[in-house]
Structure 1
Amino acid sequence: MMNQHVFTAGLLALTISTTSFAQDSTRQKSSSGGIFGKILDAVTQPAAGTSGSLTSTDIATGLKEALRIGVNNGATQASALDGYFKNPLLKIAFPPEAQNVAMKLRQLGFTKQVDQFELSLNRAAEDAAKKAAPVFVKAITSMSIQDAVGILRGQNDAATQYLRRTSGQQLVTEFTPIIDSTLRKNNATKYYTDLVNIYNKVPFVQKKVNPNLTEYATGKAVDGLFVLVAQEEQKIRENPAARVTDLLKRVFSKQ
């Protein structure tokens, strides 16, 4: 599996000390967007002791490479066995409107069946996550220089929001048939139908439940991927990391 810290190479390299860039105090005071904004203001100036300068294109290229590494890493984590099921931030539980179903059925002695159903939900998400990387890569490849600059100048979740905006719906489209098929293959649909039927027969149940299982699992699977993306972006913005590819070394070597 790709090292989780690999993704941090590109963007975190952008947080290197700006004192190595040739920039005067006036530019430092006037630049916007915090540290990333200052770096972007500096990219057109030659670094001390060098003959060239970084351009916005260089920065965008490095950013794209870092994001490609990261989304592949995230998709690999999510699609691994227990990638969802044993990650408390990603684990898919009973649909919210059916939480009473799970609680009541556990009280009635159907704990094993409830557990089997929840495991099947997460296995479906892990199976679908194998299709995530190409969707993310397409969105990253389409990123313009302006998009990259906006991410660097933007909020702490700007990259995550960019990917959600540009790839979220396609992920839903790609995931839906896979999750539907896997839910059927793993008998999750049958488990759920059986459990809901049992619950609906319980005396004094006031509200019958039967939410769209495929839609629910797909939405939660996609949300889980973006949880991983957001975690990686946070690390990128806060922690230092090594430069791990030739391109990133070239782009960020002018310190």
Structure 2
Amino acid sequence: MKQCWILVGVLALAGCQNMEAVSPWVDVGNQIAKNAGYDTDSRLARGIKDVLHTSTDRASTSLSQAGAFRLQLPAAARPVADSLRQFGFGSYVDQLETAMNRGAEQAVGEAAPVFKQAITGMNVNDALGIVRGSDTAATDYFRGQTEGVLRRRYQPIVEASLRKTGFYDQYKSMLAVYDQLPIANKPSMDLERHVIDSSMATLFSRIGEEEALIRKDPVARGSVLIGQVFGVE
């Protein structure tokens, strides 16, 4: 029982904000527990994977619902959009923004298998780093592991949605001309990049919010195992 209380104490320390100060104690506690027959590293890894599964599932499910996004045209394009509305062509702007949002919602559905693969590939050292990290350490790790793949998966989905407007080719032709204009520091008019950047920022922000809630109340928001990892028995 003495070793169990040592382990509980170490895991409680893992929930502290100043993790640099307590990291040596986490390592010592892990070694003591291992000597007593407890594989704490594996338990930490399982707990962190639970955090990632829970936070990503909640975030991707909520953002894949119709109406989840409220994306607008990039700032550089809004003067043009305002002019179109003044002259009675607002329906084209509405159609374009609707396509942007539907594309963002559909693209989020592509995140689930990418997230699952990243979680499966996580090792014990990754998990230990997350326990010692900030309130969004798991999200930050996850973004580094998945962002490149997600961008590649998002692009054709966003393009397909924009094509449904019926004037995608005209937009691309206009963009090609705009990109060649000799204007210094001109703002981006690339709608696909705008949708992908905005939707991914929203997705990882939502995952970070879920992670912070889980860390704050790990049992209620996550599971008993997560609670044990973050210091709640």
TM-score tier by shorter-chain length is 0.7 to 0.9
Structure 1 residues 211 and 32, CA gap change in structure 2 (3 angstroms): closer
Equivalence for 1:107: 86
TM-score, with normalisation over the residues of structure 2?
0.73
Contact 2:218/2:230 (8 A) holds in 1: no
Q: CA deviation at 1:39?
A: 8.3
Q: Please say which of residues 173-182 and 220-229 is displaced more in the overlay.
A: 220-229
Measure the CA separation in 2 of the matches of 1:116 and 1:62.
44
What do the CA deviations read for 1:184-209 (whole angstroms, capped 9, x no partner)? 1354737x849x89xx9xxxxxxx99
Give RMSD over aligned pairs: 3.9
Higher helix share: 2
Equivalence for 2:215: 237
Aligned residues: 212
Measure the CA separation in 1 of the matches of 2:107 and 2:137.
25
1:153 to 120, 132, 138: 132
Q: CA deviation at 1:100?
A: 1.6
Q: Which runs of 5+ in 2 are unaligned?
A: 179-185
2:19 to 26, 29, 33: 33
Measure the CA separation in 2 of the matches of 1:213 and 1:96.
11
Query: Which one-letter code corresponds to 2:203 in the other structure?
Result: L
Structure 1 residues 242 and 189, CA gap change in structure 2 (3 angstroms): same
Contact 1:105/1:111 (8 A) holds in 2: yes
Q: Give matches, 1:105-184, under 5 Å.
A: 105-184=84-163
Q: Please say which of residues 106-115 and 244-253 is displaced more in the overlay.
A: 244-253
Equivalence for 1:92: 71
Equivalence for 2:40: 55
What do the CA deviations read for 1:211-241 (whole angstroms, capped 9, x no partner)? 2322222222222211211111221233343
Structure 1 residues 52 and 214, CA gap change in structure 2 (3 angstroms): same
- Identical residues among aligned pairs (%): 32
Report whether the alignment pairs 1:217 with 2:195.
Answer: yes
Structure 1 residues 76 and 138, CA gap change in structure 2 (3 angstroms): same
Measure the CA separation in 2 of the matches of 1:188 and 1:209.
22
Query: Which one-letter code corresponds to 2:214 in the other structure?
Result: I
Equivalence for 2:8: 21
Query: Which one-letter code corresponds to 1:185 in the other structure?
Result: K
Measure the CA separation in 1 of the matches of 2:211 and 2:157.
28
Equivalence for 1:226: 204
